[in-house]
Structure 1
Amino acid sequence: MKTYDEKHIKNIVLLGAPKSGKTTLSETMLFEAGIIGKRGTVEEKNTISDYHEIEHERGNSVYATLLHTEWKDYKINIIDTPGLEDFIGEVIAAIRVADTAILLLNAQYGVEIGTELIWDYVDKYRKPTILAINQLDAELANFNKTVEEATRILGRPVTVMQYPVNQGTGFNAIIDLLKMTMYRFPENGGKPEKLPIPDNEKERADQLHNELVEKAAENDDTLMELYFEKGSLDEDELRQGIKTGMLNHQVFPLFCLSAKNNMGSGRLMGFIDNVVPSAVEMPPEITEDGKKVPCDAAGSTGLFIFKTLQEPHIGRLTYFKVMSGEVRGGMELINEKGNTTERISQLFIADGKNRNNVERLRAGDIGCTLKMKNTLTNHTLAEKNFPGEIVPIDFPGSKVRVAIEAKNKGDDEKLSEVLAEIHMEDPTLEVEFNRELKQVILHGQGDLHLLVTKWRLENIYKMQVDFHAAKIPYRETIQKPALASYRHKKQSGGAGQFGEVFMRIEPWYEGMPPYKEHTVRDTEEIALNWGGKLVFNNCIVGGAIDNRFLPSILKGVMEKMQEGPLTGSYVRDIRVSVYDGKMHPVDSNDISFKIAGMMAFRDAFHQAAPQLLEPVFDLEAIAPDVMMGDIMSELQSRRSVITGMDTINGYQVIKARTPQAELDKLFAALRNVTQGKAKLKSQFAEYAPVPPELQKKLSDSYKEDLSI
């Protein structure tokens, strides 16, 4: 296979909401370039891109898939991505290494919520962007409405390059405003006939062409002068202005497509060849310490790992972008993260599950290799004199969680290893071994994300697992002061045990007045690992208890705070004051006062109006106006408190506070009532009191479990 230099490599990522036609377009692009002789379809499960078994079962993309094509002396690397929010990690990684984003919009539905979520990341990375309105052959296609929505949400940079002559079921012609030509496609698609613009379309075409010229000119001072001088720009000048605008994130060219019928894809590929920035024209990459890494084949070799995948019968595949220099089979590169050396045994160009062996890849290119031992997603592999680690991909936090366990207890260790392997592939799936809750918890982007993980465990790794509701990390505290004492006395043959402690406990809060009930000799303020504080006052006078036993009393209190009396949850925000006690000259020791302190704290806690606290999250839901009633109903039925409402880009925004105990079910419910069109995010806010009836229910359940 020909080795392309950085000036002739174009890296694009196909983005869009589910069913916008990304996989179909990738198939059509490969067919149009002659890479494949026949186009597959999602329905027939024979596309180059969606090749995993789970994708065939579901009928949509789960993984980002690397493909390539060659078009008029350019190599175009294509990454086809999932459209579902559950697999946003795959999307973000692909955006990170692509040089241009092609955002597909379904002509029937316009700019969907899923599209907006994806756009947030395109905008964050400031990637040059093409908009492609697909499915213009559908009965409900509405080009003008889709353009209006795109302009409203993405702004003035939306720049119409083409418009359909006859959208809908008879769609077969477009007006191209760059070439000022009408393209009419044969019935089965493919190469169009070039025709003059019809008289009844000239006025509209001229108006949109002038808008295109103005948009191209305003991004380049030289072109602006030419525009004022000539009153227009020629085709080459237009291309130059559009490219500059794309690089400045000020021009988003908009194209027309029917990917299914192969109408418009060839023209789009021609634009990618002629106008879209090549790898070398993109801004340099940045290392973690701020150094620039230009895309230069003569520079020091550096690879950025953006994806790892465990393939059955093959092993670990490592996908990378060559940020600088040239990589060859047999090279040894240093993993900057762990300061280990990896040998590049083989290099491949990937087309789905098919991998073509190549001898080398140059700066700007994307490829994969096998058998990396210590190299994972977000790592940098480089020669010794490479400037440093490339800034890693910032993956989003999780939205839902579930507890997982192996059906066969003997598989617990293997399950841990497999989950670590899956997290390595998918950083948005987090694995937590929670000692507090005594559960292994999976954190994911949605219920489907978790279910696909379960499918992989059972079908790829041959492990049977169960999902359970993840427990809630409650906290316990008190609402009023209380006094208690406890005498620990034990006599058995030899040395005995004796310790008696008197203490006062009270709720602690930031800025509370100093303790005045007794004289305070010294105070220890402890920031608890699980949140909140313990303030421990030593108020012993007259030697009732030796100072050497105070640490043991504190240890007993701390031990009991790790398993509160109400539900066994951590205790927080309490001030403990030990003000009296008794010792025995022979039998008193550390264990005696530890037990006495623990039991005195327990007894005082029960008298101090115990309060169970639950984690509460700030929730934000963005959705179309017509869905607000259903969203409000779901929120109110799950103990949520509405904290605000707003409007953004024509969508309604509801803000609420929701207990974590309701959050997982709420996310699923909201996705259901909005058909996945709501944009949801949550963030921990605080611990808040549990309602009395729920507190009693949880406490009774805990006591019942203890008695079993």
Structure 2
Amino acid sequence: MKTYDEKHIKNIVLLGAPKSGKTTLSETMLFEAGIINKRGTIEENNTISDYHEIEHQRGNSVYATLMHTEWKDYKINIIDTPGLEDFAGEVIAAIRVCDTAVLLLNAQYGVEVGTELIWDYVDKYRKPTILTINQLDAEQANFNKTVEDAAHILGNAVTIMQYPVNQGSGFNAIIDLLKMTLYRFPENGGKPEKLPIPDAEKERAEQLHNELVEKAAENDDTLMELYFEKGSLDEDELRQGIKIGMLKHQLFPVFCLSAKNNMGSGRLMGFIDNVAPSAVEMPPEITETLQEIPCDPAGPACLFIFKTLQEPHIGRLSFFKVISGEIKGGMELINEKGNTTERISQLFITDGKNRNNVERLRAGDIGCTLKLKNTLTNHTLCEKNFPGQIAPIDFPPPKVRVAIEALNKSDDEKLSEVLAEIHIEDPTLEVEFNRELKQVILHGQGELHLLVTKWRLENIYKMEVAYHAAKIPYRETIQKAAIASYRHKKQSGGAGQFGEVYLKIEPWFEGMPPYKEHPVRDTEEVSLQWGGKLVFNNCIVGGAIDNRFLPSILKGVMEKMQEGPLTGSYVRDIRVSVYDGKMHPVDSNDISFKIAGMMAFREAFHQAAPQLLEPVFDLEATAPDVMMGDIMSELQSRRSIITGMDTLNGYQVIKARTPQAELDKLFSALRNVTQGKAKLKSQFAEYAPVPAEVQRKLSEDYKKEEVHSD
């Protein structure tokens, strides 16, 4: 394969809702360029993209897949992405390293579920964008409505570059407003015939062409002067203005396609070659220390890992973009985060599962390598004295969670290793080994995300696993003061055990008045690892308890606070004042006072109006106005408290406080009632009291578990 300079490498990402035709378009582009001799289909499971078994079973993309074409002296790197929000990590990583986003819209359905969410990521990274209206050969195709839907979301930057002459089942012709030519395709697609614009279409074509010229001119002062001077722009000037508008994120050209019938893909690739910006024309990359790194083949060698994939029988594949310089096989590069040096043993360009060896890759290109030991997604490999690590991809926080266990207990250690490996591949799947809840918890983007992970564990790693509801990290506290004492006495032949403790417990809060019922000799304030505080007052006078036993009493109290009396949850925000007790000159020891302190605290806790607290999250749901009623109903049915409403870019925003116990089910319910059109985000807010009936049930369940375990 020839080596392309940085100006002749174009990186595009195919985006769109499920079934919008991304994989079919990528197949057609590879066929048009001669990379493949026959186009595969999703139905026959033989496309270059979507080659994993889970994708064959589901009939849609789960992974982002890297491919390439060579078209008229340009190399186009293509990343085909999933359309479902559950696999957002794959989408975001691809957007991050590509230079142009190609957003597919299904002409039958317009802007579909998920398209708006994808657009948020494109807009965040300010990527130049091409809109392609696909499936214009479908019976229900409606080009004008699809353009209107897109303009409603993206604004007046949506600019028609092509429009269909005869959309629907007879579709075979488009009018191109840049070249002012009609393209008519043969029955089986492929290379079109170039014809003059018919008289019946001339008025509309001229009007849309003038709009395109104005859009191109308004992005550059020089072009605007030319436009005022000549009243128009020639084709080269139009290309220049369109590129400037795309780079400014102020012009999104609209193209027409039937990817399935190979109509329009060649013209799209020609536009990508001639107009879409290359990496060298894009803003420079930014390091974590905010230094700019231009795309310069003469600069120091640097690559950025954007995706890691574990392939059976092959090992770990690391996909990267060359940020600067030139990468060659055999190079040794430094990874500051991994604190190691990595040797680039082999370089590949990939087309799905097919890998082709290359000797070098220049700045702006995308490729992959094998078996990097300590280099993961978001890591930078570079030469010595490079300015620093490239700013990482910002992956979305998880939205749902589930507890996982291996059905075969001998697989516990293996499960931990496998989950760690899967997390390396998919940073949006987080693994938590929660000692408090005694569960391994998976945090994911949605139910489907978690189900696909389970499928992988069972079918690729051959491990039987089960999912359970993740427990809630409740907290316990008290609502009033209480006094209790406990005598621990044990005699069994030899040295005995004796310790007696009197103490008072109170709810603690910031700024509460000092304890005055007994003289306080000293106070220890403990900031608890699980949140809140324990304030421990030593009020012993007259030597009733020797000072050396006070730490043991505190230790006993702390142990009980790690397994609260109500539900076994952590206890927080309590002031304990030890004011009296008794010792034995022979039998008193540390263990005696530890047990006495623990049991006195336990007895006092039950008398102090114990209160169970639950984690509560701030939730934001953004959706169209017509869905507000359904969203409100779901929130209120799940113990949510509405805290406010707002508007944002034509959408309604509902803010609520929701208990974590309801959160996982609520996310799924809101997705269902809004057909996935709601944008949801949550953040921990506080611990708040649970309703009395919920506390009673949880406490009773805990007592039953204790009896059963005994």
Tell me the TM-score normalised to structure 1 length. 0.97
Cα distance in 2 between the residues matched to 1:233 and 1:684: 55
The one-letter code sitting in structure 1 at the alignment partner of 2:99 is D
Cα distance in 2 between the residues matched to 1:572 and 1:134: 58
Q: 1:659 aligns to what? A: 659
2:693 partner SS: helix
**How many Å apart are 1:626 and its aligned residue?**
4.3
| 2:305 matches 1:320 | no
**How many Å apart are 1:587 and its aligned residue?**
3.0
Q: 1:574 aligns to what? A: 574
Which stretch of structure 1 is more off in the superposition, 84-93 or 190-199? 190-199
Map of 1:261-660 to 2, 5 A cutoff? 261-660=261-660
Q: 2:219 aligns to what? A: 219
Q: What do residues 173-232 of structure 1 show as CA deviations (whole Å, max 9, x unaligned)?
A: 222221122222222222222222233333332222222222212221211221222221
The one-letter code sitting in structure 2 at the alignment partner of 1:362 is R
Cα distance in 2 between the residues matched to 1:427 and 1:198: 53
**How many Å apart are 1:465 and its aligned residue?**
1.0
Q: What do residues 533-588 of structure 1 show as CA deviations (whole Å, max 9, x unaligned)?
A: 22222233333333332222221111111000011011112122222222333333
Q: What do residues 274-313 of structure 1 show as CA deviations (whole Å, max 9, x unaligned)?
A: 0011111111111112222211111111111111111112
Q: What do residues 621-653 of structure 1 show as CA deviations (whole Å, max 9, x unaligned)?
A: 333444444433333332223333344444443
Cα distance in 2 between the residues matched to 1:317 and 1:503: 62
2:114 partner SS: helix
1:288 partner SS: coil
**How many Å apart are 1:107 and its aligned residue?**
2.0
**How many Å apart are 1:356 and its aligned residue?**
0.8
**How many Å apart are 1:35 and its aligned residue?**
1.3
Unaligned 5+ segments in structure 2 are: none
Cα distance in 2 between the residues matched to 1:554 and 1:218: 74
Q: 1:239 aligns to what? A: 239
| 2:13 matches 1:18 | no
Cα distance in 1 between the residues matched to 2:140 and 2:350: 36
Which stretch of structure 1 is more off in the superposition, 61-70 or 574-583? 574-583
Which stretch of structure 1 is more off in the superposition, 612-621 or 199-208? 199-208
Cα distance in 2 between the residues matched to 1:194 and 1:220: 31
Cα distance in 2 between the residues matched to 1:522 and 1:215: 76
Which stretch of structure 1 is more off in the superposition, 359-368 or 256-265? 256-265
Alpha-carbon distance change, 481 to 131 in structure 1, aligned in 2, over 3 angstroms: same
Cα distance in 2 between the residues matched to 1:63 and 1:334: 28
Cα distance in 1 between the residues matched to 2:583 and 2:145: 84
**How many Å apart are 1:681 and its aligned residue?**
2.2
How many residue pairs match? The answer is 708
Cα distance in 2 between the residues matched to 1:517 and 1:256: 83
Are the counterparts in 2 of residues 105 and 132 from structure 1 also a CA contact under 8 Å?
yes
Cα distance in 2 between the residues matched to 1:53 and 1:627: 37
Unaligned 5+ segments in structure 1 are: none
Q: 1:98 aligns to what? A: 98
| 2:158 matches 1:155 | no
Which stretch of structure 1 is more off in the superposition, 316-325 or 254-263? 254-263
Cα distance in 1 between the residues matched to 2:264 and 2:410: 57
Q: 1:691 aligns to what? A: 691
**How many Å apart are 1:341 and its aligned residue?**
1.7
Which stretch of structure 1 is more off in the superposition, 496-505 or 649-658? 649-658
Cα distance in 2 between the residues matched to 1:482 and 1:220: 76
Q: 1:182 aligns to what? A: 182
The one-letter code sitting in structure 2 at the alignment partner of 1:580 is D
Cα distance in 2 between the residues matched to 1:566 and 1:37: 69
Are the counterparts in 1 of residues 113 and 675 from structure 2 also a CA contact under 8 Å?
no
Q: What do residues 224-269 of structure 1 show as CA deviations (whole Å, max 9, x unaligned)?
A: 2212222211111111111112112222222122211222211111
| 2:192 matches 1:192 | yes
Cα distance in 1 between the residues matched to 2:538 and 2:198: 93
Cα distance in 2 between the residues matched to 1:182 and 1:518: 95
The one-letter code sitting in structure 2 at the alignment partner of 1:696 is R
Which stretch of structure 1 is more off in the superposition, 443-452 or 31-40? 31-40
The one-letter code sitting in structure 2 at the alignment partner of 1:577 is S
| 2:677 matches 1:677 | yes
Are the counterparts in 1 of residues 87 and 449 from structure 2 also a CA contact under 8 Å?
yes
Which stretch of structure 1 is more off in the superposition, 658-667 or 363-372? 658-667
**How many Å apart are 1:532 and its aligned residue?**
1.6
Q: What do residues 579-621 of structure 1 show as CA deviations (whole Å, max 9, x unaligned)?
A: 2222333333322222221111101110111111111222233
The one-letter code sitting in structure 1 at the alignment partner of 2:572 is R
Are the counterparts in 2 of residues 113 and 623 from structure 1 also a CA contact under 8 Å?
no
Are the counterparts in 2 of residues 31 and 38 from structure 1 also a CA contact under 8 Å?
yes
Are the counterparts in 2 of residues 300 and 386 from structure 1 also a CA contact under 8 Å?
yes
Q: What do residues 83-133 of structure 1 show as CA deviations (whole Å, max 9, x unaligned)?
A: 101100001111111111111122222223411111111111111111112
Cα distance in 2 between the residues matched to 1:626 and 1:169: 33
2:156 partner SS: coil
1:82 partner SS: coil
The one-letter code sitting in structure 2 at the alignment partner of 1:47 is T
1:170 partner SS: coil
1:155 partner SS: helix
Cα distance in 1 between the residues matched to 2:524 and 2:125: 48
Which stretch of structure 1 is more off in the superposition, 607-616 or 138-147? 138-147
Map of 1:85-164 to 2, 5 A cutoff? 85-164=85-164
Are the counterparts in 2 of residues 114 and 679 from structure 1 also a CA contact under 8 Å?
no
Cα distance in 2 between the residues matched to 1:551 and 1:161: 78
Cα distance in 2 between the residues matched to 1:251 and 1:664: 39
The one-letter code sitting in structure 1 at the alignment partner of 2:592 is S
Q: 1:28 aligns to what? A: 28
The one-letter code sitting in structure 1 at the alignment partner of 2:294 is P
Map of 1:29-48 to 2, 5 A cutoff? 29-48=29-48
Alpha-carbon distance change, 557 to 37 in structure 1, aligned in 2, over 3 angstroms: same
Q: 1:54 aligns to what? A: 54
1:156 partner SS: helix
Are the counterparts in 2 of residues 21 and 134 from structure 1 also a CA contact under 8 Å?
yes
Q: 1:208 aligns to what? A: 208
Are the counterparts in 2 of residues 152 and 649 from structure 1 also a CA contact under 8 Å?
no
1:76 partner SS: strand
Are the counterparts in 1 of residues 6 and 365 from structure 2 also a CA contact under 8 Å?
yes
Aligned-residue CA RMSD in angstroms? 1.7
The one-letter code sitting in structure 2 at the alignment partner of 1:320 is F
Are the counterparts in 1 of residues 545 and 580 from structure 2 also a CA contact under 8 Å?
yes
Tell me the TM-score normalised to structure 2 length. 0.96
Cα distance in 2 between the residues matched to 1:469 and 1:426: 22
Are the counterparts in 2 of residues 567 and 698 from structure 1 also a CA contact under 8 Å?
yes
Cα distance in 2 between the residues matched to 1:228 and 1:491: 105
2:698 partner SS: helix
2:101 partner SS: strand
Cα distance in 2 between the residues matched to 1:43 and 1:650: 39
